Structure 1
Amino acid sequence: MVVTVELISLPRNTEKNLMHLQSLRIQGFRRFDDLSLRFKSGLNIIVGPNNAGKTAVVDALRVLLSASDEGNLRLTELDLHQQRNGTRRTSATFTFIFSNLSDDDEADYMTALVPVKDSTETITGYEARFTVQYTQAEPGGRLRLRRWVGLHEENVMTTEMLEELRAIYLQPLRDPALGLKPEFDEALKTKPPVSSTNLALNTKHENMLGSELAQVLALELTSGDFNRFAARVGLAVGGMEIEQNGLGFNNLIYMAVVLSELALNTEATYCGLIVEEPEAHLHPQLQAVLLDYLRTVEKPAEGERAVQVFVTSHSPNFAALADIDSICCVYESPSGPAAFAPRDATFAVGKKEKLQRYLNVTRAELFFARRVILVEGTAELFLVEALATKAGFDLRKNSVSVISTDGLNFDAFLPLFGENAMQIPTAVITDADPPADFFPEKDSTLQLSANASLLKASEDDFVHCFFSKKTLEYDLAFEADRRQLMIDALKEIHPVIGKALETEIDEGVGDSEKAKRLYCGMFQRGETKEDVQKGRYSQILAYGIATSKTAVTVPPYLVSALQFVIGAVEKAGG
């Protein structure tokens, strides 16, 4: 792609908070029978598992926003949605709603306006509605393109309207050197238009990366090719040809150049940037730098305009660093592809902020999961994965993500799942949480604490809770084969304690008594003795379970949780 530099002399719009795409409805396109997405101004990060439809969302955006670009999207019969009965839809329809229109925008898009009404049917403002439709005239034939605005198909979408919607699309695995290349006459470098552009580019680049990582950029031009000046502007990096620079850094430079062009464009009514997989070729630190820079579009500098950015990503690192309100998840629900924005979820006071703080690369995997198991902490994380394998469930092949909530923080995570959120199987594995001095019998009825009962009440068709009688470690100690593995793991880190406890357990009568002795001997040792550290112990126990040559029975409540979250999918080796 070639980078062009335009010198604007008559600004049309210098406001920072301009119109933005509020929603997009996609009907009959590729995997989507009918999908609606809501966006916010500024940065939007579209995430989800492979084959969820993220690229289809990008191409749907391009149908309108890149309609005036060379090489814009061309749809064929194969792009029409194939229904479950095998037949294809005869049309693909894309409906775009823009909000936050200024008075000038409303005048320009008069025929596109749709009234916005409150609960009393009072008109509170207007939105602009654009519709693009591809229709199959006959089987095997070309698709017919139609565009209209507003509520009536007779309202034609004019070329002038399309030109006011300025968006740039950056495809995945791009080679930015193609757009940043050629050479430059030395005499031109000192001229004000060029020198000021150089200054702007270097300033933007340093703002993105910081002084430590920033490189020296300079405009270049193919010698003597004045007729194609705008089309042949390129960059030199630290005195080197752009092709000699690293691909990751070139992508950062290119995005900075493109964003600069859009931010300084005061002519277009709307400016957007569509980027697929911006994390490509970037290590985690530079991904964080890029994300910080993309956030700046929400608070443009003086003399710049707001730019709406759409990003697709496969990177949990990118999702972990992002503001939750910027994320939109595209995933597979029981009824087909669906979209969910965490900002639309209902959180208790302070819980969304807690979730934002708790998100890391591992936990952000939940935005890409097809099935989820939520556990309390690291100890349960190690043990559940090892026990699932022993029970014959391959979590990885069944796309199950086990997420630690770092204590009893389920209420910060659960708003993301369920009937009114992401409709994917979600199992919560936790403790019944009885008093510390209460030790349930092996065959006793489950007794839930007040907190556990509240958690149980949050269940729906997609979220189920599964409780141990006391703790996971206590329930593991009910069976002789598991008790021996637990004692062996204890001996590895505390040989003396392990040997003494083994003797004490052998003297116990019945599984329930032995489970109590083992549990108290490790985790309730009294005020004068230090308890065994669960995290370290569980890691060693999980290894022992995973490498055991003999069969290991799995507590029934864990088997139920695994069966629920995996459903009808076959067990490993089944």
Structure 2
Amino acid sequence: MYLETLYIKGFRSLAEATITFQPGVTVLVGENNAGKSNVMDAIRHLTSPLDGRRDLHLRREDLHRDGCPEEGHRDTCRRAIEITGRFTSRNLDELAIYNQAMNSDHTSIGYRLTYTPPAFSGQRGTVSWRSGETETADHDPEPAARERIRHLYLPPLRDAQRELASSTSSRIQYMVERLLRDEDERRGFIADVDKRFADIEDLPPLTTAVAQVQRGLTRLTEGVALQQVGVGFADATLASITRALRLRMEQAGLDPRDLAQSGLGYANLLFMATVLTQLQDAAEADLTLLLVEEPEAHLHPQLQAVLMDYLAEEAARSQQRETTGDSWLGRIQVVVTTHAPHIATAVGPENLVVLQRYRHTDSQSEASVAGPTAEVGAVGDRPEPREYRSKAVAIADLRLAEPVLNKVRQYLNATRNTMLFGPRVLLLEGIAEAILAPVFADRVLDRSGVQRLRGTAVVPIDGVDFEPYLRILLTAERLGGHRIAQRVAVITDGDFFGLDPKRKVDRLGHLRGILAELGAGEDTARVFGNTTTLEPALMTAAPGNLPHLQEAWRNQRPNAWAGDWDALRTRPEKERPRMLADMFGQYRIRKGDFAQHLLEVSAEIGPLTPPAYFRDALQWITGKESSDAR
């Protein structure tokens, strides 16, 4: 059993969104403010906490504003929040107990939470529950069944050392309380603690101190009513006992020490371990959704990978748990939010959901405010209301061919690239282009353009097979028509186009055909190319580039460079680019190394001038996107 789909309407930035999850682990990626935490909170509202302690409640401020001014909503605005979960199982017998929530497909169950905020003069909103796909006004007839689906929330970690070491920390208390649910065991534990406290009270330093105080007290009270002093601990309770305890940690083989002496990363893992002890309670629920926000905090990449492996193993192990009759299923499903490539690439692309923030323009709303008798021109003169919304694209919903997923999976595993994390992507052939792109940007872009390039995912694919990357970035999902990328630029060249007629390939035309097939117009994706490779293109871009090329070539072939360059100069000018391209293959010059030397030379004798196609690509990919009104 697992949460397959979450439908959200009117919740914060999620005006209307559908998020698809995988049975084991699903990772939500995206920029800041993309809506990842909003999705996690929606799940928390839809399900009960595993420990029964709900600390998150819907408020008026959670209602999506539809671009309204602060003073209120328009008549056409959404008035309620709806969060609907569709749960399914590979074994339909697991759903039998939820017969009142069965959907019409008879393969899934559903629960819908509706929250209507109070009027601005009111104090409390209205919460209602529906089961299944019915539109009836009747409430969920079996809330007890719904309570069998729960969540365990692990918040973003910021200061685990303080949380675990503080006297106000409740982590140890939670762990001890779960182990002492039986009242007799709890009383026995407290009685045992009281006995050990009494042993401490009899230690000589304490008894000596009491005796000294008693002498003075006797002199002061013996004439009236003699008093007797003693020392002891306060009455023991679980709270008072655990409040005095501190978790300690050290590398295996050494005595545990105070957490202040441990690194932040391992302290965060210890915090996670205390929270994950609650997973033992998952055996008392049919489904526990483990919600982990930004687990990468303070963890080096290897620890991030180990953590993700652990979470995946816990989910997989729970699916193997055998059950009989109406006993708890004990299934665990993991949902993670992250900004870290090592976390995202620890799972396959099909386990990723990309959330993005986009600008929504609603021209209809402006017309409704103006009224039915307003003139079209008058409405058009007003600025259109704008707002930012969140969109979700689950890669599993793109229905990509397995070879496409395999290639992207292998590339992400090898490079940990951020191509799925942002709305702009620049696809390049290799490392040489990636090395030179920032240098070219400094030459042709203004300050804001350079900053936008830094916010662009630069993807050197080490080849010319751009198709898998274009398909995963630009395929529109079925429900909302959204894509992972808002803008994609491809920079390629004519290795075999215009140089060798026997191997002539219209690569640019082929790539543009793929864009047309995907329905990606020129405002979304473009291909920029040349008929020669990058190095010959640099030769013809500007006369001032020749000294750079010569010095870089000298660094590659220190003993033979002069003869190479003299031979190049003897050829007619129009043949030189072709000869330079052939020399790279003839002498096995590594283009990445050559690009590094070009950078060193440019630092000494001045900047390179980029070829026109490279310049155009940089200017376009860093330009402002048109408004996405979907």
CA–CA separation in structure 2 for the residues paired with 1:514 and 1:281? 53
Aligned to 2:172, the other structure's residue is in SS state: coil
Is this contact kept in 2: 1:112–1:155, CA < 8 A? Answer: no
Distance of aligned partners of 1:258 and 1:544 in 2 relative to their CA distance in 1, 3 Å threshold: same
2:30 to 45, 48, 56: 48
Spell out the pairing of 1:177-196 with structure 2 (5 A cutoff): 177=164, 178-181=169-172
Is this contact kept in 1: 2:487–2:625, CA < 8 A? Answer: no
Shift of 1:51: 1.5
Distance of aligned partners of 1:110 and 1:346 in 2 relative to their CA distance in 1, 3 Å threshold: closer
Structure 2: state its 5+ residue gaps: 187-233, 323-329, 361-388, 477-482
1:402 to 448, 452, 458: 458
Q: Does 1:490 align with 2:473?
A: no
1:169 to 134, 138, 153: 153
Distance of aligned partners of 1:390 and 1:227 in 2 relative to their CA distance in 1, 3 Å threshold: closer
Distance of aligned partners of 1:173 and 1:111 in 2 relative to their CA distance in 1, 3 Å threshold: same
Aligned to 1:368, the other structure's residue is in SS state: coil
Shift of 1:246: 4.5
Q: Does 1:314 align with 2:295?
A: no
Aligned to 2:15, the other structure's residue is in SS state: strand
CA–CA separation in structure 2 for the residues paired with 1:179 and 1:90? 38
1:137 to 111, 115, 118: 118
1:535 to 592, 596, 599: 592
Q: Does 1:152 align with 2:135?
A: yes
Q: Does 1:474 align with 2:474?
A: no
Q: Does 1:293 align with 2:310?
A: yes
Shift of 1:159: 4.4
Aligned to 1:219: none
Is this contact kept in 2: 1:46–1:329, CA < 8 A? Answer: yes
Shift of 1:543: 4.4
Aligned to 1:535, the other structure's residue is in SS state: helix
The C-alpha deviation readout for 1:133-176, integer Å capped at 9, x for no partner, is 22233236443322222223534235424431221111112636
Distance of aligned partners of 1:24 and 1:316 in 2 relative to their CA distance in 1, 3 Å threshold: same
CA–CA separation in structure 1 for the residues paired with 2:604 and 2:390? 39
Spell out the pairing of 1:58-207 with structure 2 (5 A cutoff): 58-66=40-48, 69-84=52-67, 86=69, 88=73, 89-100=78-89, 106-116=95-105, 125-139=106-120, 141-142=122-123, 143-150=125-132, 151-157=134-140, 159-173=143-157, 175=160, 177=164, 178-181=169-172
Aligned to 1:281, the other structure's residue is in SS state: coil
The code of the aligned residue for 2:112 comes to T
Spell out the pairing of 1:4-19 with structure 2 (5 A cutoff): 19=1
CA–CA separation in structure 1 for the residues paired with 2:504 and 2:435? 24
Is this contact kept in 2: 1:67–1:73, CA < 8 A? Answer: no
Shift of 1:253: 3.8
Shift of 1:378: 0.8
Shift of 1:292: 0.9
Is this contact kept in 2: 1:417–1:423, CA < 8 A? Answer: yes
1:519 to 555, 568, 581: 581
Is this contact kept in 2: 1:165–1:268, CA < 8 A? Answer: yes
Aligned to 1:37: 19
CA–CA separation in structure 1 for the residues paired with 2:624 and 2:275? 48
CA–CA separation in structure 2 for the residues paired with 1:554 and 1:136? 57
Spell out the pairing of 1:447-458 with structure 2 (5 A cutoff): 449-458=505-514
CA–CA separation in structure 2 for the residues paired with 1:179 and 1:556? 62
The code of the aligned residue for 2:300 comes to H
The code of the aligned residue for 1:516 comes to R
TM-score, length basis structure 2: 0.70
Shift of 1:353: 1.9
Is this contact kept in 2: 1:345–1:415, CA < 8 A? Answer: no
Is this contact kept in 2: 1:277–1:314, CA < 8 A? Answer: yes
Distance of aligned partners of 1:395 and 1:410 in 2 relative to their CA distance in 1, 3 Å threshold: farther
Aligned to 1:3: none
Aligned to 1:566: 622
C-alpha root-mean-square deviation of aligned residues, in Å? 3.6
Aligned to 1:271: 288
CA–CA separation in structure 2 for the residues paired with 1:57 and 1:276? 11
Shift of 1:98: 0.9
Shift of 1:524: 3.9
The code of the aligned residue for 2:594 comes to Y
Q: Does 1:339 align with 2:392?
A: yes
Q: Does 1:262 align with 2:279?
A: yes
The code of the aligned residue for 1:454 comes to H
Shift of 1:27: 1.3
Distance of aligned partners of 1:325 and 1:309 in 2 relative to their CA distance in 1, 3 Å threshold: same
Structure 1: state its 5+ residue gaps: 1-18, 117-124, 195-221, 440-446
CA–CA separation in structure 2 for the residues paired with 1:352 and 1:290? 24
The code of the aligned residue for 2:434 comes to L
Aligned to 1:429: 491
Is this contact kept in 1: 2:47–2:147, CA < 8 A? Answer: no
* Matched residues, number: 497
CA–CA separation in structure 2 for the residues paired with 1:85 and 1:429? 41
Identity of aligned residues (%): 28
CA–CA separation in structure 2 for the residues paired with 1:368 and 1:548? 37
Is this contact kept in 2: 1:477–1:519, CA < 8 A? Answer: no
Distance of aligned partners of 1:26 and 1:410 in 2 relative to their CA distance in 1, 3 Å threshold: same
Shift of 1:496: 4.0
The code of the aligned residue for 1:83 comes to D
Is this contact kept in 2: 1:373–1:402, CA < 8 A? Answer: yes
The C-alpha deviation readout for 1:314-350, integer Å capped at 9, x for no partner, is 1112123322222111113565422122233344453
Is this contact kept in 1: 2:248–2:259, CA < 8 A? Answer: no
Aligned to 1:28: 10
Distance of aligned partners of 1:417 and 1:170 in 2 relative to their CA distance in 1, 3 Å threshold: same
CA–CA separation in structure 1 for the residues paired with 2:243 and 2:333? 25
Aligned to 1:321, the other structure's residue is in SS state: coil
Shift of 1:484: 2.6
The C-alpha deviation readout for 1:8-58, integer Å capped at 9, x for no partner, is xxxxxxxxxxx2111111111221211110001111111111121111111
Q: Does 1:391 align with 2:447?
A: no
The C-alpha deviation readout for 1:284-307, integer Å capped at 9, x for no partner, is 111111011111034206658430
Distance of aligned partners of 1:179 and 1:497 in 2 relative to their CA distance in 1, 3 Å threshold: farther
Distance of aligned partners of 1:113 and 1:42 in 2 relative to their CA distance in 1, 3 Å threshold: same
Distance of aligned partners of 1:306 and 1:344 in 2 relative to their CA distance in 1, 3 Å threshold: same
Shift of 1:430: 1.2
Distance of aligned partners of 1:392 and 1:173 in 2 relative to their CA distance in 1, 3 Å threshold: same
Aligned to 1:367, the other structure's residue is in SS state: coil
Shift of 1:370: 2.0
CA–CA separation in structure 2 for the residues paired with 1:466 and 1:288? 37
Aligned to 2:193: none
Aligned to 2:282, the other structure's residue is in SS state: coil
Aligned to 1:307, the other structure's residue is in SS state: strand
Question: Could you say which structure has the higher helix fraction?
Answer: 2
Distance of aligned partners of 1:236 and 1:52 in 2 relative to their CA distance in 1, 3 Å threshold: same
Q: Does 1:351 align with 2:404?
A: yes
